[in-house]
Each structure stands twice: as structure tokens, then as C-alpha cells.
Amino acid sequence: MDRIHITGGTPLNGTIPISGAKNAALPLMIASLLTGETLELINVPRLADIAALTRILGNHGVDHMVVGKRPGQTAETGQTVRLTASNVIDTTAPYELVSTMRASFWVIAPLLARFGEAKVSLPGGCAIGTRPVDLLLMALEKLGAEIEIDGGYVVAKTKNGLRGTEIDFPKVTVGGTHVALMAAALAYGTTVLDNAAREPEVVDLAECLIKMGARIEGAGTSRIVVEGVARLGGTRHEVLPDRIETGTYAMAVAMTGGDVSLVNTRTDLLASALETLASTGTEVTALPDGIRVRRNGGGISPADVTTDPFPGFPTDLQAQFMALMTLAKGQSRIRETIFENRFMHVQELARLGARIRLDGDLAVVEGVERLKGAPVMATDLRASVSLVIGALAAEGETQINRVYHLDRGFEALEAKLARCGAQIERVRA
């Protein structure tokens, strides 16, 4: 099993190109099942989760072709893919494939909407709480699907097609909004989604669906209206920049000191996180094609955050921000309101010398003078990258085990950091 070795203490300086967003690319790829025509996606990151979904789509009969990379990207980053679902051979998504990645469960929506049936295994993925699929299934049932659970599979059918309806989500759900958008796009009549997720990735999916012929209004607000159409066609669409990768590298610069330009990204994708980062004493400046992050001298000021749905502070940056706060000059309080059991990185940060106390959904971080390198173990995607950030600032060498988590969500991480001066190396098993 691969490991990453990091010798900390080197400020980051240079330029880091931001990849396409995994959390946008996944639903976009799944949307290819809505049409028999070709969907071409630009700026798709090269990640383990993308490869896993490609296998799942291939199992259904979707043809996949890599045709190039985004201009300015290196050989290990970014790709343009063409997906064609003209010969779907199977509407069953088996356990051995779906269990590798939770978002793959979303194939249930386009399969049901286009073919009237789907049999999809209950999902796997990151071990950060239950992440129930109840809200997704509620949305499909509201649209007229008949659903039963049989042997660990969700079996969904519709006799006469899906029907437009009103869906009021009891809590904000990104997955539920993705599923409802895809299903409603081919439903008869009008569907209204209330308390819909406002995340940029939802907007990106809606914009792609509109290019495919869907009639959608209100994406990016809490009320989305979808007028169903009889069929969707192919299109060409560029995946939006990864706001979580952007925030991750911004926090790494803040923690190590230095001066880095993050290019191919946008400030509006993570305004709340950048505002919080600026409050810690880090200089954050908008560039024409990205963001400049600088912290040369001076301590890290403590800051309190509460994770919230967009446009609030992202839960996917909580672990990274906690790593930054371990070196703050004072106490910080971090409250996690989105997912349960998302503090698994705490005990590993403690191995580096962090002082963190947990109380339910609250983490109280007492800043320390320095961290020291140690062997640590990644437990999930975001936790693993928080350990990378901590290790970059720690004295001595840190060995991070189980780094396959990183490969699920961060494209060419070692190469991007090394180009900015980080002493980082992957040791392959």
C-alpha cells in the first residue's frame, strides 16, 4: 500500500493549477445516461473515483473515450472525455461496483427516467456517517416511482413514466437535488424543488442539462423549477473548477507561509471559506484567472467556523481548516453540522502534536507552537489531506499511510505541491 513521506517546514511558493471539480464531474458523467447522444466533458480530473464511475457506466453499456486534455494542463491532470449511452445493455448497478463509491448510486435517476426501471445496490464510499439515501428515494417516489428494497438493492420502477410534482426537501441535500434534477428533466409536466441545494456543482449540472435540452429555472437558489421534456440530446460542457481543492491549497499556503497563485479557479465558488481564511491573517487576493494566497511572517490568528450548506463554510474544508488552526495563536471552535462522525482526523492530527478536544459536533482547538512529524493514517478523503497540510508545516518527517483516499479526490497532489517547494514523495508499495 502506497505511503506519502513529507519533510515539513518549507514555505510554498509558485503556481498551482486547479483541477476540475470531482463533485461536479461525477453527476455530469451520470447524466450521460439520460441520452443516447454523446456528452463531451472537458476538464474531468484524473481520479480514482472518476475511474470507478467509468467502470460503472461501462457496465451499463456506456461507451467512454478520452480524447484529450484541457489547454495548459500537464499530462497527469485534466482530460476531455466523451460518453455515449446509445446502447445501454443493463439497468442494474451491482454491489461490487457501487460499493466502491457512494455517488454512483445516483445512476438510479437517469436509468429510471429514461428506461422506466433501475436496480441499484445500496452505496459505499467515505465512512463519515450514515449519509442515508432516504431523501433521494423520497424524491423519486414523489415523481411516481415504485420503490422496494430487496437483498441490499433498491429496485425502482415506473409504469407510465415519471410525473412532475412538488418536492420539499426536509433538509438540504446535494445528492437529492442532483437525483431530482436528472429525474425531473425527463418527467411529464412540471416539478418544483423547494429547499434545493444551492451548491455550485448543482448549478453546473443544471447548466449542462439545459445545454442538453432540459428546461430548468432557479438553479443556484433554494427553489428550482423543472419542466420535463420528451428527450435530451448530447452537448459539450466544461467541468467547473474544484472549490475544495482551491480551499485546500489556500490553507496549505496559510499554514506553511509563502506565496502561491491558484489558477483556473474562481473566488465566488468559496467566498465564505476565503473570508474566514483572510480573518486568520492570510492575504487573499482575486486574480483574473484565480486567487493569490500569501502569508509571509506573522502568526496565524484563531477563527471560529460552523459548516453549512452553500454559500456557508463547506464541510469538505472542515478538516483542512482544523489543521490550520492547530498552529493558531489561541483557541478556535469548529462546529460540524452537515455530517456526523466527521472528526476522525482529530486523533491523527494529535499524533503530530495538535491539541483538540471534542464535544459532540464541536471541536475546540488550542493552538500550539509547533507540530512534529510522526507516522499517521488517513481515514477518509478530507481527513487525509488535512494530514498532508499538517505535515507540510510540521518539523521533521511525517509518513502518511492509506493514501488511496487522496487518490479518490486530489489530482496530482504530490506534483502540484512539489512544484511549489514542498518536500513530498510517494513511496509505492
* Residue 23, marked binder: yes
Cα 374 from Cα 354, distance rounded (Å): 12
Q: Are 170 and 19 in contact (CB under 8 A)?
A: no
Strands 92-93 and 79-84, sheet pairing: unpaired
Cα 256 from Cα 275, distance rounded (Å): 19
* Residue 194, marked binder: no
Alpha-carbon distance values, 308 to 171, 273, 359, 365 (Å): 12, 11, 18, 19
* Residue 204, marked binder: no
Cα 257 from Cα 260, distance rounded (Å): 9
Cα 208 from Cα 31, distance rounded (Å): 9
* Residue 56, marked binder: no
Q: Report which DSSP code applies to 310.
A: T
Candidate list 126, 174, 187, 385, residue with the active-site label? 126
* Residue 132, marked binder: yes
Cα 174 from Cα 360, distance rounded (Å): 24
Distance between first and last Cα of the chain: 5
Any catalytic annotation for residue 420? no
DSSP-derived 3-state class of residue 369: coil
Q: Are 200 and 183 in contact (CB under 8 A)?
A: no
DSSP-derived 3-state class of residue 330: coil
* Residue 22, marked binder: yes
* Residue 244, marked binder: no
User: Sign of the CA dihedral 63, 69, 75, 78?
Assistant: negative
* Residue 284, marked binder: no
Alpha-carbon distance values, 332 to 232, 280, 356, 391 (Å): 49, 11, 9, 20
Burial of 31: CB neighbours in 10 Å, binned 0-12, 13-18, 19+: buried
Cell numbers placing 122: 445500496
DSSP-derived 3-state class of residue 275: helix
Cell numbers placing 95: 454491489
Where is the binding site for phosphoenolpyruvate, in residues?
Answer: 22-23
Active site residues: 126
Where is the binding site, in residues?
Answer: 22-23, 102, 131-135, 316, 338
Where is the binding site for UDP-N-acetyl-alpha-D-glucosamine, in residues?
Answer: 102, 131-135, 316, 338
